[in-house]
Structure 1
Amino acid sequence: MATIVYTSGTTAAPKGALITHGNFVGQVLNVGAAYTGVVREGGNTVIFLPMAHVLARGLQLICLANGMRIAHLSDPRDVVPALGVLKPTFLVVVPRVLQKIQASAAAAAARKHLGRVWVAAQQTAVEWGRFAEAHDADPSVRAPLGLRARHAVFDRLFYARLRALVGGRLDYLLSGAAALDAELSLFFRGLGLPVIEGYGLTETTAPLTGNMPDAISAGTVGVPMPGTSVRISDRGEVLARGVGVFAGYRRPADNQDAFTDGYFHTGDLGELDELGRLTLKGRIKDVIVTVGGKTITPAIWEGYVEGDPLVAHAVMVGEGKPYLGGLVLLDPESVTAWAEREGINDLAGLRIPDDGCAVQIEDARLLSTIGKAVSAANAKLARSEQVRTFVLLLADLSEANGMVTPTMKLKRTAFTERARHIVENLYAESRSQA
């Protein structure tokens, strides 16, 4: 046994995972072999996750074993200012960081009265990203001349500056811990900053699957790591076996349903395509069954809404209810910046509560803006999967408050428990209006 690492407890009480020396060494050898172009001698990275997190520990070992330099920062807010000095060759981030970079670039362009130009640049980057993925699959594929010309212009105007902002040496961004919107991935690919999305758990000693540098597929979390096997159960659950899969939980009772035929039950829903790439569909424990018997996976709608930079987290509710509702947690920094851009100086109630609870925001302008994101998300889904009513909330989204994990995932159980009265009021108000 090397260590006991506790799970983040997003949907249940934390469990002590028994990680062996073999788990760590297996990941060092196999991940290092799969990503020789990323973890390499002469390269360097920045780790700002706490070292109690298995991803940070595994990443450190992989980098050290391959001759890389590592800088540790205790506060994620220090990362962007430090990138110009540290000049990393790759960086592990969560999707929220990428959303904020994109939103900051849009805000900077708007301040210079280049908002429309930026919109065209953003669309061009996404289009370029699609052609880059097609080129990975077939090197004979080339982008049209017009696209190449637009990309060259926008590279001088915007893209090169964004690459310089992150140090100017960044070859790849590695994204995990939460679902990454496919269009956001394509956008960064178009900037010249390819995003390698992966997937793993505490119980798999971090990386279980990942996109390969020369075969990135936006919207998937890639193929199983070397030394790892993944299969999908009859109920759609992702099952895993391999060098990184842990020895079991500290409490014997937690192991009762953890394994089947040597495969660990991840608790995640997913699908494998014909090339063996995994696409995640949400957590089994998060599935909602409405009063009409409809079974809904909330992660899809939540992911669409969370693509809006003003939204920190979206939570679908509706267990045992006649229809679905949504709790939309605002990102205070992004909302403040949005209000400044819009010339709004009277946002009422925009104060983070200090009592650990969530407060409802009734501002009509914010409701209208977020309502567009909710409507866009609904339009992509079947009627039975659409959210009929939603509320905007503000809460202290700090790890110290017990609302999020070190990788900024929302602790769903803790949040919904604190917001129970808001959910009850949501449906009570809808009934009274009906």
Structure 2
Amino acid sequence: MDNFTPTRYTLTNVATGREFEDRGWMLDDPESPEPSLIRTRYASKQIHVRSEDHGIYRFCDWLPVRRMLKGSHAPVTYKSKRLAEHLGLKNLYITFSGYFPEVGARMTTCSFKETEAYNVCARRADDEKRVLVVASAGNTARAFAKVCSDNRIPLLLSVPEDNINALWFEAPLDPCVKLIAPQTGGDYFDAIHLSNLALGSPLFYAEGGAKNVARRDGMATTVLSAATTIGEIPDYYFQAVGSGTGAIAAWEANMRLIEDGRFGNKVMKLMVSQNIPFTPMYDAWRADSREMLPYDADQARADAEAIDAKVLSNRKPPYSVRGGLYDALKATDGDILVATNEEARAARRLFEEMEGVDIYSAAGVALATLIQAVKAGTVDPDKIVMLNITGGGEHYFQRDKQLWYLKPHQVFPLDPEPDYVVRTVEKLFARG
């Protein structure tokens, strides 16, 4: 593993098809006439899955990485028995990203955001001196904080003050990780805005979110885990979405698996879900609109506060952009479903009873909509269903542990003065 050779790939503009070399930390095509995601095109058309001791990098043939970082784990897929029988599904496969040693899942942040963090950070250039900036509603920040702390990568996190209880760790973090927060009442969009202001300093560079191919291809390992475990591409894919990036990644993995030739040629039906009352993508999809519909900022903050699954509260998702969620749903004949807090809570209780481990609210939303779809007859009970459990095992992992919480180094008002933000964050890293 120490003699790792960087993965060979090129980048492609989804809108125009232009193929070009990755000259470092490219997040888009500089020659694109319109906003568009870019995609990786790997030299290896067939994936060679390495041994489990490679962690997430067992899928490195299809990851745009320069190195392997320590401490990673891959998602684990297993065939459900009790939950499948309860729902009347003959081929329900659960892809679990979290902590559940009984099935081999050992992500200690208990979230599939680890799949993003280990690959984004492994894409980083050896000689990069700037500080990585990540905005998050919670779980993404915990994953990036762990990976950057363990591997001494300077990181500036921006997380809403209301969500910082998600920033728990087994032990204190390395001081290379700093946290800023929009004050109480702010949401994920406010955290993104604050991080964008910090990027006004040349000391920092953006992680890029959905635009970063390393993030999407890291998330795509959930589908790679499922297909290589099952031996074929699933028929249905269920996941709750905040930005929709994981579903976009699933679609892209599906296309690579078809090109591989060994897993069939099925187009997996994306069945993604949002948590009522925060449903901007659902509302746009129901209106058959590529563009997001108007959403009053105060109403959006209130709706984000009302949902259990705070990680699903992205007001500016990559839905409309070429190659984004709208295109993914159209290409896969997919759909967006919704679940209430109560339905998601009931689904979480059911999962723990049937499968033996706790799951996060977002995963509860996904299961709740699977239950709805089964009852409505929109899922063929004989087909292969992949349920992407994007986080779980937190209660299991935290048992008998004394946790350490990352506190904000600076809390900002919701509309801070840009120069003040830049001066403040520069001082954070000047102090070390």
TM-score, scaled to structure 1: 0.28
Q: Choose between structure 1 and 2 for higher RCO, CA contacts under 8 A separated by at least 6 residues.
A: 2
Larger Cα Rg: Structure 1 or Structure 2?
1
TM-score, scaled to structure 2: 0.29
